[in-house]
Amino acid sequence: MIGGGLAGLSSGVALAEAGFRVRLLEKRPHLGGRAASYVLPSGDHVDNCQHVTLGCCTNLEDFYRRVGAADKIKFFDRLYFAAPDGRRGIMQAAALPAPLHMAFSFATFPLLGWADKTAIVKALLSIALGGGRPADSLPSPSNGGIGISMLSWLQKHRQTDRAIRRFWEVILVSALDEELDRIEARYGIDVFWKAFLSTRGGYRVGIPRVPLGVLYDGCKDAITKRGGDVQLRAGVRGFVVASGRVEGVEREDGSVETADYYVAAVPQNILPGLLPSDVVEREPVFSNLSKLRSSPITGVHLWFDRPVMTEPFLTLLDSTTQWVFNKTQLYGEGAESGGQYLQLVISASYNLTQRSRQEIIGLCIDELREVLPATREAALVKGTVVKEMCATVSPAPGSDRWRPKPKSPLAGLFLAGDWTATGWPSTMEGAVRSGYLAAEAILFHTGASRTFLRPDLRPEGLARFFAHES
Ligand SMILES: Cc1cc2nc3c(=O)[nH]c(=O)nc-3n(C[C@H](O)[C@H](O)[C@H](O)COP(=O)(O)OP(=O)(O)OC[C@H]3O[C@@H](n4cnc5c(N)ncnc54)[C@H](O)[C@@H]3O)c2cc1C
């Protein structure tokens, strides 16, 4: 297993459970890849960036359960929103069957007008009646089999500017880390179907109560107790390939390791560099990876000298800052520390990549002063900004063409990563799905078939009458 992110870990744990002796080689000194945490020189344990899951992420939940981390995720039924003038709105399910369970919250939501709501309801109805696959969102042969963008689909469905800004954009830019004109409509629509329409619980937001790294404590055990091992600071320089087969991996210390099967669970922009260049040029599966684009996420960590926020998290409308997480509360730390640690997230943060860290902190503080008035009096003890330029793979129209299946064209080599063909966007759930699919592909190759992949939540209530059989 090359790579100890969620794809490598989930594949490794699944294969170990299936009786394989797994050796996992991770380049960095910690597990978790892009969903990791580390200790700052100040001693603070911070996440690379706040990560959240949703109730509809069935495989991530399964993985956390397998490694004993499920109870470290707290799920929230209430979503909190704030307009720039500080007004609040809440969305939560009422006692109605899906897809009507959010109807009451939505009807009374104070941060959208009636014209916005009418337009949104019509579009949501079209998604629900189409069972999450409305015909006008599907790729058409006239367009070379490439789907339209989410923005085009919303424009077709006559959404108001405010509905786009305060509803569709707010949910999709953070869920898919991309702007609406660069998201294939299928992906955007899937988010609404799976999280908000097909079941009552799919929208619930799951947030770790611990730094991300703690979630992976059980992974090493799961692999070692079945005879395998997990090695950190164990980078791989490249695959040894001969006659169309992987015959080993060369480690950064120059040694060569051999195995019956190899899983490359590294990011898509790293994999080609680990393969001989003639193999990459010859095999479209590898050469096409350069066509997958990445999108950035910026995380801003702020420590105040006093409590400034009461909600566990807040989604900001019409602001550069998209989410504010009350880390002190989420970690279950009381007021005894005196201060409060907030983590802000800005997805698809193209506008910030060129701006200095000080400028970004200044901009975020200005926005917080409007929605969290207590920050006006509070002193900022310290702040840090983490810019991830290649945070996720952009779900651009047509990008599915370049996402490969787990079995690679090289004998012995299997692929895992949030960028492979999972049907899901580049997320933790996508990464775990890819890990399970790679494990299943290896087992299939040995003739011993086993299923690790968990199905999506079954559509419930009225939604099940519109769902497509899968
Ligand atoms: C800032 C940010 C915020 C995010 N927020 C969310 C969120 O809220 N919810 C969500 O679901 N998803 C979120 N994501 C996406 C999520 O983190 C990723 O989709 C997922 O973690 C990818 O897992 P992976 O295993 O496919 O890849 P990675 O996590 O990138 O793992 C690849 C691993 O391979 C290792 N590696 C690379 N080269 C070598 C080598 N030569 N030898 C050995 N090892 C190597 C790397 O060190 C790394 O550990 C976010 C991502 C970022 C960056």
The residues facing 90 across adjacent strands are 80
Residue to probe by mutation, ligand 1, list 51, 240, 274, 323, most atoms within 8 Å of CB: 51
Q: How far is the CA of 98 from the centre of ligand 1 (A)?
A: 33
Task: Determine the Cα angle at 247 with ends 243 and 252, to 5°.
Answer: 125
Supply the pLDDT for residue 250.
Answer: 98
**With 80 as the cut, is the pLDDT of residue 135 above it?**
yes
Q: How many helices (H) and strands (E) does the chain have?
A: 14, 19
Q: How far is the CA of 392 from the centre of ligand 1 (A)?
A: 8
From the alpha carbon of 49, which atom of ligand 1 is closest?
Answer: 1
| Amino acid found at 252 | E
From atom 4 of ligand 1, which residue's Cα is the shortest distance away?
Answer: 51
From the alpha carbon of 428, which atom of ligand 1 is closest?
Answer: 11
Q: How far is the CA of 338 from the centre of ligand 1 (A)?
A: 34
Class of residue 162 by CB neighbours under 10 A (exposed 0-12, middle 13-18, buried 19+): middle
From atom 52 of ligand 1, which residue's Cα is the shortest distance away?
Answer: 391
Distance CA 350, CA 175 (A): 16
Joined together, the tokens standing for residue 33 give 């890849």
Q: Model's pTM, two decimal places? A: 0.97
Q: How far is the CA of 174 from the centre of ligand 1 (A)?
A: 16
From atom 15 of ligand 1, which residue's Cα is the shortest distance away?
Answer: 427
The residues facing 192 across adjacent strands are none
Distance CA 442, CA 21 (A): 13
Return the exposure string of 231-251: e unless at least 16 CB atoms fall within 10 Å of the residue's CB, then b.
eeebbbeebbbeeeebbbbeb
Residue to probe by mutation, ligand 1, list 2, 178, 236, 266, most atoms within 8 Å of CB: 266
The H or E element containing residue 24 is: strand 23-25
Q: How far is the CA of 5 from the centre of ligand 1 (A)?
A: 5
Q: Quickly list DSSP for 35-73.
A: G-EEE-TTS-EEESS---EETT-HHHHHHHHHTT-GGGE
- Contact predicate 298/287, CB 8 Å: no
Joined together, the tokens standing for residue 454 give 């968990």
Residue 355: HSE in the Cβ half-sphere, 13 Å Cα cutoff:
16
Task: Determine the Cα angle at 413 with ends 408 and 417, to 5°.
Answer: 70
Enter the DSSP assignment of 454. P
Enter the DSSP assignment of 146. B
Joined together, the tokens standing for residue 362 give 């200044």
Distance CA 200, CA 55 (A): 9
What is the pLDDT confidence band of residue 140, given thresholds at 50, 70 and 90?
A: confident
From the alpha carbon of 429, which atom of ligand 1 is closest?
Answer: 11
Supply the pLDDT for residue 176.
Answer: 98
- Contact predicate 133/468, CB 8 Å: yes
Tens of pLDDT, residue by residue over 306-328, are 999 999 999 999 999 999 999 99
Q: How far is the CA of 431 from the centre of ligand 1 (A)?
A: 8
What is the pLDDT confidence band of residue 335, given thresholds at 50, 70 and 90?
A: low
Percent of the chain with pLDDT over 70: 99
Joined together, the tokens standing for residue 167 give 């509803």
In this structure, the number of other CB atoms found within 10 A of the CB of residue 73 comes to 18
The H or E element containing residue 296 is: strand 294-304
The H or E element containing residue 74 is: strand 73-76
Residue to probe by mutation, ligand 1, list 384, 427, 433, 436, most atoms within 8 Å of CB: 427
Percent of the chain with pLDDT over 90: 94
The residues facing 191 across adjacent strands are none
Q: How far is the CA of 243 from the centre of ligand 1 (A)?
A: 31
The residues facing 24 across adjacent strands are 230
Q: How far is the CA of 302 from the centre of ligand 1 (A)?
A: 23
From the alpha carbon of 60, which atom of ligand 1 is closest?
Answer: 11
Bridge-based pairing of strands 37-39 and 23-25 is unpaired
Residues near ligand 1 (Cβ within 6 A): 2-8, 25-28, 33-35, 48-49, 51-53, 235-236, 265-267, 270, 274, 297, 299, 388, 391-392, 417-418, 426-431
The rounded radius of gyration (Å) of the Cα atoms in the chain is 22
Residue to probe by mutation, ligand 1, list 53, 323, 428, 434, most atoms within 8 Å of CB: 428
In this structure, the number of other CB atoms found within 10 A of the CB of residue 446 comes to 13
What is the pLDDT confidence band of residue 333, given thresholds at 50, 70 and 90?
A: confident
Tens of pLDDT, residue by residue over 367-412, are 999 999 999 999 999 999 999 999 999 999 999 999 999 999 999 9
**With 60 as the cut, is the pLDDT of residue 100 above it?**
yes
Distance CA 451, CA 217 (A): 24
Residue to probe by mutation, ligand 1, list 34, 236, 392, most atoms within 8 Å of CB: 34
Supply the pLDDT for residue 79.
Answer: 97
Tens of pLDDT, residue by residue over 199-245, are 999 999 999 999 999 999 999 999 999 999 999 999 999 999 999 99
Q: Quickly list DSSP for 147-200.
A: PPBHHHHHHHTT--HHHIIIIIHHHHHHHHSS-GGGSBHHHHHHHIIIIIIS-S
From atom 27 of ligand 1, which residue's Cα is the shortest distance away?
Answer: 5
Q: How far is the CA of 267 from the centre of ligand 1 (A)?
A: 7
**With 90 as the cut, is the pLDDT of residue 118 above it?**
yes
Class of residue 180 by CB neighbours under 10 A (exposed 0-12, middle 13-18, buried 19+): buried
Supply the pLDDT for residue 421.
Answer: 98
Supply the pLDDT for residue 336.
Answer: 65
Of 70-79, 155-164, 327-336, minimum mean pLDDT range: 327-336
Q: Which of 57, 9, 17 is nearest to 454 (CA)?
A: 57
From the alpha carbon of 391, which atom of ligand 1 is closest?
Answer: 53
From the alpha carbon of 418, which atom of ligand 1 is closest?
Answer: 26
**With 90 as the cut, is the pLDDT of residue 123 above it?**
yes
Longest dimension (CA), the chain: 68
Mean pLDDT of 348-377: 97
3-state percent helix, strand, coil for the chain, nearest multiple of 5: 40, 20, 40
Supply the pLDDT for residue 469.
Answer: 64
Q: How far is the CA of 6 from the centre of ligand 1 (A)?
A: 7
Tens of pLDDT, residue by residue over 178-187, are 999 999 999 9
